[in-house]
């Protein structure tokens, strides 16, 4: 491309960039360069025609009373969200929670609901909002969380043969308990292809653990940006357990 062409095209692009002042392309048609360059002339004509076509598209027709309807629906949606949370909490409360993860998750739910997140949780929410496009709970979240727990457990055992800290032991115990629960009812719920990560786990104990995580799975807020405010209410070890699952896909966007 000749130097003149390049500068003409640069002028054309910047005219297209700021289309507010009158008809910017019009002024370009007097450009001297066009007298001797058929190519740039053709380009300008084609861009002008495209502008005409784009401008000829009818503006989208707005539904009547759009804003009023959106407002009304927003209010309903917020109420429905509250109701769903109430129902889930109630349902969860009816099940006897085993000591450990699920009980603390429920406590987390309650306190997340009772007090709006602040400070550090806010910062985490902001970071999450950046990352999350529309957050969706993947199918079988609970299973995948537990599969990760199992993997992590195997890894930790290799990395750290001696657990000095009680909290680490406690987290692993919770993971183990969860894995037991999953193992107990796995064949009935899951296709064989997904059992890969759990093959080494021993036989099961507690299926209620799974139900609690299922509660979470269905929990409206988990699909939303409030996930982090829930997480921030939990002890760090439990956060890790849940985050392992969420890294897997809950926050994918």
Partner 1 sequence: MQSEYDEDPGVRWMRAWQAGDEGAFDALVEAYSPQVYALLTRFLGQRANREDLVQEVFLRVVRARERYEPSARFSTFLFRIAYNISVNETQRGIAREAGRVELGGDANARSSRTLAEFEDTRAEAPGAELERDDVVREVRAAIARLPENQRMALLLAKYEELPYSEIGEVLGTSEKAVKSMVHRARESLRESLAALLEEEEA
Distance CA 54, CA 57 (A): 6
Indicate whether 215 belongs to the interface with Zn ion (CB under 5 A).
Answer: no
For residue 126, the partner it binds in Zn ion, partner 1, none, with Cβ less than 5 to 8 A by kind, is partner 1
Q: Could you give the count of Cα atoms lying within 13 Å of 225 in the half-sphere of its Cβ? A: 16
Indicate whether 172 belongs to the interface with Zn ion (CB under 5 A).
Answer: no
Judged by phi (left if over 0) then psi (alpha if -120 to 50, else beta), residue 180 lies in alpha
167 alpha-carbon distance from chain centroid? 29
CA distances from 139 to 25, 153, 197 (A): 53, 23, 16
Distance CA 214, CA 142 (A): 6
**How many residues make contact with Zn ion (CB under 5 A)?**
3
Task: Identify the residue among 6, 91, 133, 157 touching partner 1 (CB under 8 A).
Answer: 133
Task: Identify the residue among 60, 64, 192, 202 touching partner 1 (CB under 8 A).
Answer: 60
Q: Which residue has the tokens 């002042």?
A: 21
Which residues 6+ apart lie within 8 Å of 65 measured at CB?
A: none
Indicate whether 79 belongs to the interface with partner 1 (CB under 8 A).
Answer: no
For residue 40, the partner it binds in Zn ion, partner 1, none, with Cβ less than 5 to 8 A by kind, is Zn ion
Task: Identify the residue among 12, 15, 28, 40 touching Zn ion (CB under 5 A).
Answer: 40
Q: Which stretch binds Zn ion (CB under 5 A): 11-19, 34-42, 57-65, 124-132?
A: 34-42
137 alpha-carbon distance from chain centroid? 8
Of 121 and 198, which has the nearer Cβ to partner 1?
A: 121
Indicate whether 114 belongs to the interface with partner 1 (CB under 8 A).
Answer: no
Which residues sit at the interface with partner 1, rule CB under 8 A?
Answer: 13, 16-20, 45-50, 52-54, 56-63, 66-67, 69-71, 73-74, 77-78, 116, 122, 125-126, 129, 133-134, 136, 224-226, 253
């Amino acid at each position: 491309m000749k130097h003149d062409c390049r500068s003409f095209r640069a002028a054309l692009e910047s005219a297209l960039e700021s289309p507010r002042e009158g008809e910017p392309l019009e002024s370009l048609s007097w450009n001297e360069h066009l007298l001797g360059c058929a190519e740039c002339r053709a380009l300008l004509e084609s861009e002008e025609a495209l502008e005409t076509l784009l401008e000829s598209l009818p503006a989208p027709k707005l539904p009547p009373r759009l804003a009023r309807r959106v407002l009304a629906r927003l209010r309903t949606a917020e109420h429905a969200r509250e109701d769903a949370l109430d129902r889930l909490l109630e349902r969860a409360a009816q099940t006897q929670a085993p000591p450990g993860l699920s009980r603390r998750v429920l406590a987390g739910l309650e306190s997340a609901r009772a007090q709006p997140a602040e400070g550090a949780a806010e910062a985490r929410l902001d970071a999450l909002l950046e990352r999350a496009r529309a957050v969706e709970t993947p199918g079988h979240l609970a299973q995948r969380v537990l599969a990760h727990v199992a993997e992590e457990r195997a890894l930790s055992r290799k990395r750290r043969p001696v657990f000095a800290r009680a909290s680490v032991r406690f987290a692993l115990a919770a993971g183990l308990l969860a894995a037991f629960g999953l193992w107990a009812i796995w064949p009935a719920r899951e296709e064989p292809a997904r059992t890969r990560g759990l093959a080494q786990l021993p036989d099961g104990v507690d299926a209620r653990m799974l139900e609690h995580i299922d509660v979470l799975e269905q929990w409206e807020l988990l699909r939303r940006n409030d996930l982090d405010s829930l997480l921030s209410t939990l002890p760090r070890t439990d956060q890790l357990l849940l985050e392992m699952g969420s890294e897997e896909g809950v926050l994918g966007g």
